[in-house]
Amino acid sequence: MRTGSFDRYASVLFALIGAAFLFESRNIAKSAYGSEVGPNVFPFLLGLILILLSVKLFLESFKSVQNNNNDREKLMVKRFLIILIASILYAAFLETIGYLISTFVFLFVSFQTMEKGGWVKNALIAGVFSFCVYYLFVVVLKGSLPGLPIWFS
């Protein structure tokens, strides 16, 4: 798989990252007590190297020949987006609605997205997983996780 166009965008992005570090490192104190080299030197150098490497990649990206045999497999964008959004919501609501409910909902939605149907089995697996993890971690191992919604307890 040739990756020419991605490399071009990526090289610009990485150059920007390098430049950001390079630029921002000027705001860091230049010297540390008793040392000639302050905490700014290392990020500064690295930022510079990253920019140089990005330039190299940018140039290389033109060399890689595009082979346009469109054997692009069909990407499952829809199910990916649903699961991605579900994960983000899962992360966002984990603390407020608690581990048990958020994990159950996330797993159930994802199972259904991966393959429709069999919702009793899916709900069962999602429920057993979230309960087992919670039980093992919090009750057996004495770890701490937000269990149920805050307004519940």
Positions in the binding site for another protein (CB under 8 A):
1, 3, 6-7, 10, 14, 17-18, 21, 24-25, 28-29, 32-39, 41-43, 46-47, 49-50, 53-54, 56-57, 60, 73-77, 79-80, 83-84, 87-88, 90-92, 94-95, 99, 103, 106-107, 110-111, 114-115, 125, 129-130, 133, 137, 141-145
Alpha-carbon dihedral sign for residues 73, 74, 79, 84: positive
Alpha-carbon dihedral sign for residues 93, 95, 101, 105: positive
- Closest to another protein by CB, 32 vs 150, is 32
- Closest to another protein by CB, 115 vs 152, is 115
- Closest to another protein by CB, 120 vs 141, is 141
Quote the least distance from Cβ 68 to another protein, whole Å: 17
Element (H, E) at 122: helix 119-134
- Which residue, 88, 86, 140, 134, is CA-closest to 113? 86
Quote the least distance from Cβ 101 to another protein, whole Å: 13
Please check whether residue 125 is in contact with residue 148, taking contact to mean a CB–CB distance below 8 angstroms.
Answer: no
- Closest to another protein by CB, 42 vs 62, is 42
Residue 11: count other Cβ atoms within 10 Å of its Cβ. 20
- Closest to another protein by CB, 34 vs 153, is 34
Torsion angle (degrees, nearest 10) of CA 74, 78, 81, 87: -110
Distance, CA of 146 to CA of 126 (rounded, Å): 18
Quote the least distance from Cβ 152 to another protein, whole Å: 19
Quote the least distance from Cβ 62 to another protein, whole Å: 13
